[in-house]
Chains A and B, each alone.
Chain A
Amino acid sequence: MASTAPSREFDNAVRPLRRPGRWVGAAVIIVLLAAFAQAIATNENIDFATIGEYLLNPRILSGVQLTLLITVIAMTCAAILAVIIAAMRMSGNPVMVAVAAVYVWAFRGTPLLVQIVIWGYFGLIFDKITLGIPFTDIVFVQADTNTLITALVAGIIALTLNEAAYSSEIVRSGMLSVDEGQREAAASLGMSPAYCFMRVLLPQAMRVIIPPMGNQLISMIKNTSLLSLIAVLELYTQATQISAQNLRQVELLIVVSIWYLAIVSVLSIPQHYLERYFGRGSTKNQPQTLAQKAREYTGSIQVQREHKRKRKAQNHV
C-alpha cells in the first residue's frame, strides 16, 4: 500500500478552516432561487404546454433559419469590411485614414435601430440605384431601389455596416498587438508588405481578434431581432406575429429566448477551436480541446474516487 502512495507519509494531518459564512450564504441563495422557481412553475399565466408546442413550430424554425442566415452573411461581410477599414486606418494615405475614421465615428455614434430603419426607408431617399461613371451620363445598370433592396437586404446591409465599424477597431487593436520585430523579420526575408500582412501579421493578430469578435458575433445574433422593425421574418418577428394571434406573448418570448440561448451556446464551440488554432505556438503547451478537457475532467473524478476508495481501505486496516 505504501508503495502506491508514498507521499501520504509526509502529509500533515490538518483540519480545514471552518467557513460557516459560506454555508449560510449558499443556503440563503438556494432558498431564494427555489422560491423563484416555484413562483414560475405554479404560475397560471405561463402555459408550459404552449412553450413546448411552439418550440419546434415550422414558423419558428423558419425564423431560426433566417436569423442564422442573416447572422452568417452579415458577420462574414462585416469581418471582410472591418479588415479593409482597419487597413485604411493604418495606411499612410491621409484621405483613407480620414474616411475610415469618419466611417467608424458615424456608424458607432448612431443607434443601430436608427440605422436599420434608415436602410428600410432607403427607397424614399434614392428611388433608383445606378451603376455608372460619376459626374457623367454613362450608365451601366440602373434598378429600382425597392426591388433591389428588399427588407431583408436592407437589414443585412444595416447590420453589416454597423458591425464593420466596431470590428474594424478590434482588427486594428489586433494588428497593433503584433511586435514590430515581426515586420522587420518578414521584410528582411524579402516579403512584400502585402505578403507579410497575410502570412505573418494577420495570423498573429487573430489570436487577439477572435475573443472580442466572438462577443460581436453574439451581439449580432441578438441584434437580428431588431430587424422586426422593418418586417424581416426572422425569429423574433415570427414569434411576435404568432403571439399577436394567440395572445401567448410570454410563452413565445420564452421560446425565442430558448432559441437564442441555444444558437449562442452552439456557436461558442467553433470559437473555442478557432482560439486554439490561432493561439498555436503562443504557449509552451498547446491548449486542450473541449473534448480533451472533458476527458481529463472525468478522468480526474475517477482518480479522486480511486483515491477515496484506497483511503477508506487504508483506514479499515
Chain B
Amino acid sequence: MSDSTVFGSGSESSIALNDTALVQLRGVRKRFGTLEVLKGIDMDVHAGEVTCLLGPSGSGKSTLLRCINHLESINGGRITVDGELVGYRERRGELHELHPREVAKQRRKIGMVFQRFNLFPHMTALENIMEAPIGVARRPKARVRADAMELLAHVGLEDWAGHYPAQLSGGQQQRIAIARALAMKPKIMLFDEPTSALDPELVGDVLEVMRDLARAGTTMVVVTHEIGFARSAADTVVFMDDGVVVESGTPEQVFDSPQNLRTQGFLENVL
C-alpha cells in the first residue's frame, strides 16, 4: 500500500526485524482496592501484528489496554513498549515512578482510541488532529496540516475538516479520533471497544478504517466484541476471563477449535 508512510507505522517498523516483541507484558497485576482485575498477564505484541482482546465484560481486557499506555498504573509485573519500561524506571532492582512529563513522552509512541471518542469539543476535526503534532511533537505547522488533511482523506472525511465534533455522527467522530491518534505517528495503536458506542449502521465505516490500518501494517491491540473483525483482521486473538488470559492463538485456533470451556461458552453466546 503506497500510503503506508502516513497510515502505517512506516519507517519505524524496521524494529520488527529483531525478535523481541514491540509490546511485552510479564506477570502484569492490577488491583482496584481489594479487587484484583488483572492476575498476572503475559502477552507479546509483535510489530506489524494485530492482536484482538476478547472476553466477557469485567474480564479485565480494557484495564489491560489502559495499562499499556499507563492510563492505569500496575501493581505488579512489567510492561515494556519498544524496549522501554512503561511508567517506571528500574534502578538496582527497584522501580521508580516516572515524572508525568516523562510518561507523557512515552505515550507519544502509543496511540489510543476510546470507546466514547473523547474528541476535544472546542476544536474542529482538523484542529483535533493537528493539536498534538504541533503542540506536543513540535512539528512544523504546514507539514502537520498537510499530513492531517491526508489522514482525513484516508478516513473519508476530508470534507468535514472544519466541523466541530458535535456536528458529526458517532461514526465520523470515531474516525476523526483514529486520525487524531495516527497523527502523532505512534508505533502502536490501542483501540478500546471503538465501535461499542456506535449505532449499528455506523460500525462498518469505523471497522473498514481499522482494516485498512491492519493491512498497511500498523501494530494494533484491539479490545472488541466484533467477532467478525477479529476473525478477519487479527493475527492473534487473546481470550480473557476473570483477569487471566484463558486462551490465545490465531483466529482459526481460537474461534474454530477453542480448547478452553470458558472460551467455548463465550463464543456460543456471542456467535
Contacts and interface: CB of A to CB of B under 8 A. Distances in A.
Interface of A: 179, 181-182, 184-193, 195, 199-200, 203-204, 207, 278, 280-284
Contacts of B71: 184, 187-188
Given A190-B107, A190-B184, A191-B104, A184 B114 contact: yes
Contacts of A281: 121-124, 164-166
A188 B112 contact: yes
Interface of B: 69, 71, 100-101, 104-108, 110-112, 114, 116, 118-124, 131-132, 135-137, 164-167, 177, 180-181, 184, 190
A280 B124 CA distance: 9
Given A280-B164, A283-B166, A184 B180 contact: no
Contact of A284 (B100, B104, B112, B166): B166
A196 to B, nearest CB: 9
A87 B129 CA distance: 28
Contacts of B106: 190
A184 B118 CA distance: 8
Chain A interface helix/strand/loop/mixed = helix
Contacts of A200: 120
Nearest to A207: B122
A209 B209 CA distance: 38
A280 B112 contact: no
25 contacts: A179-B118, A181-B116, A182-B118, A184-B114, A184-B118, A185-B114, A185-B120, A185-B177, A187-B71, A187-B104, A187-B107, A188-B71, A188-B110, A189-B132, A189-B136, A190-B104, A190-B106, A190-B137, A192-B104, A193-B104, A195-B135, A207-B122, A280-B122, A281-B121, A281-B164
Given A192-B104, A281-B124, 16 more contacts: A181-B116, A181-B118, A185-B120, A188-B190, A189-B131, A189-B136, A190-B104, A190-B137, A190-B184, A191-B136, A192-B101, A195-B135, A195-B136, A281-B123, A282-B166, A284-B166
B116 A192 contact: no
A198 to B, nearest CB: 9
A185 B118 contact: yes
A200 B119 CA distance: 10
A127 B166 CA distance: 58
A228 B100 CA distance: 49
Contacts of A182: 118, 120
B164 A189 contact: no
B166 A204 contact: no
A208 to B, nearest CB: 12
Contacts of B104: 187, 190-193
Contacts of B119: 185
Nearest to A279: B122
A188 B107 contact: yes
Contacts of B120: 182, 185-186, 200, 204
Nearest to A280: B122
B111 A188 contact: yes
A193 B100 contact: yes
Nearest to B168: A284
Name, among A186, A190, A193, A278, the residue most crowded by chain B CB atoms within 10 Å (CB to CB): A190
A190 B190 CA distance: 14
Contacts of A187: 69, 71, 104, 107
Nearest to A184: B71
A188 B119 CA distance: 12
A192 B103 CA distance: 8
Given A184-B114, A282-B166, A283-B166, A189 B122 contact: no
Contacts of A190: 104-108, 132, 136-137, 184
